[in-house]
C-alpha cells in the first residue's frame, strides 16, 4: 500500500482518513482540494487538473484524497490501492455542515489558501444526490480495476476504524 486513492462523497471522511493512514504507513498525502482550487474558490481548468495529477502520481509513494471524476482515471491507473468511503448520506451531510461551522471563514488544512470555508446549498445537494448520481459510476470504475488493484470499500465509521486498526497491526507485526 504505497499508492493510495481515497474517494467518496463530500463529508465521507476522505481527508481525515488520508491523514491517519499517512501516519500509519509513512506515505505523503496530497489533498487534491489544495491543488485544484485557487483563492476565492476558482477551480483550475481540467487540463491543469490533469497535469497536476499526472505529476503527483509519478512519485514513488503517495496518498491522494479527492474525487475530481473527470481526471480520476489518472490516479486509478497508477494506484495500487483504491479506498471508497461509501458512507450514508446523512452522515456525510452532518459532517459537511459540521465542517462549515468548525472552519467558518477559515481555510481548512486540506484546502487551498484563500478558500475560506463557506456554506453552499449546491454542495449539500451534490452530497444528497451522490448515492444515485455518482456512486454507480464509481462502483463500475472500481469493478474495472478489481483484478489488478486492492479495492477497499468502507461503509461506516466503525469499518474505517477497523481498517486503520488492521493496518496498524500489520505494521506492528512487521516491525
CATH code of the domain covering residue 114: 3.40.50.300
Q: 46 Cβ partners below 8 Å, 6+ apart? A: 70, 71
> What pLDDT tens digit does each residue of the chain (175 aa) get?
999 999 999 999 999 999 999 999 999 999 999 999 999 999 999 999 999 999 999 999 999 999 999 999 999 999 999 999 999 999 999 999 999 999 998 999 899 999 999 999 999 999 999 999 999 999 999 999 999 999 999 999 999 999 999 999 988 887 6
What are the backbone dihedrals phi and psi of residue 173, each rounded to the nearest 5 degrees, phi first? -65, -35
Residue 175: the pLDDT is 67
Closest Cα to residue 28, out of 57, 48, 69, 7?
A: 57
Residue 172: the pLDDT is 82
How many residues in the chain?
175
Residue 174 domain flag: no
Closest Cα to residue 75, out of 22, 17, 10, 7?
A: 7
d(CA 5, CA 78): 9
Residue 174: the pLDDT is 76
Q: Which CA distances in Å does 59 have to 56, 74, 149?
A: 6, 13, 18
Total number of domains in the chain: 1
Give the residue carrying C-alpha cell 482550487.
37
Q: Which CA distances in Å does 40 have to 2, 11, 79, 88, 116?
A: 33, 21, 31, 30, 8
d(CA 59, CA 172): 26
- Neighbour tally for 63: CB within 10 Å: 25
| pTM of the entire predicted model | 0.94
Residue 175 domain flag: no
Range of the domain at 78: 3-169
Amino acid at each position: 500500500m504505497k499508492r493510495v486513492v481515497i474517494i467518496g462523497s463530500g463529508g465521507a471522511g476522505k481527508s481525515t482518513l488520508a491523514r491517519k493512514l499517512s501516519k500509519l504507513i509513512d506515505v505523503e498525502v496530497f489533498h487534491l482540494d489544495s491543488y485544484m482550487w485557487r483563492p476565492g474558490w476558482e477551480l483550475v481548468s481540467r487540463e491543469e487538473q490533469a497535469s497536476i495529477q499526472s505529476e503527483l502520481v509519478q512519485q514513488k509513494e503517495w496518498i491522494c484524497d479527492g474525487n475530481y471524476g473527470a481526471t480520476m482515471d489518472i490516479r486509478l491507473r497508477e494506484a495500487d490501492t483504491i479506498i471508497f468511503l461509501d458512507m450514508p448520506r446523512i452522515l456525510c451531510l452532518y459532517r459537511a455542515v459540521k465542517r462549515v461551522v468548525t472552519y467558518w471563514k477559515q481555510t481548512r488544512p486540506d484546502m487551498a489558501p484563500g478558500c475560506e470555508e463557506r456554506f453552499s446549498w449546491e454542495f449539500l445537494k451534490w452530497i444528497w444526490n451522490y448515492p444515485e448520481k455518482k456512486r454507480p459510476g464509481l462502483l463500475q470504475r472500481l469493478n474495472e480495476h478489481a483484478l489488478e488493484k486492492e479495492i477497499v470499500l468502507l461503509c461506516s465509521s466503525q469499518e474505517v476504524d477497523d481498517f486503520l486498526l488492521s493496518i496498524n497491526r500489520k505494521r506492528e507485526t512487521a516491525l
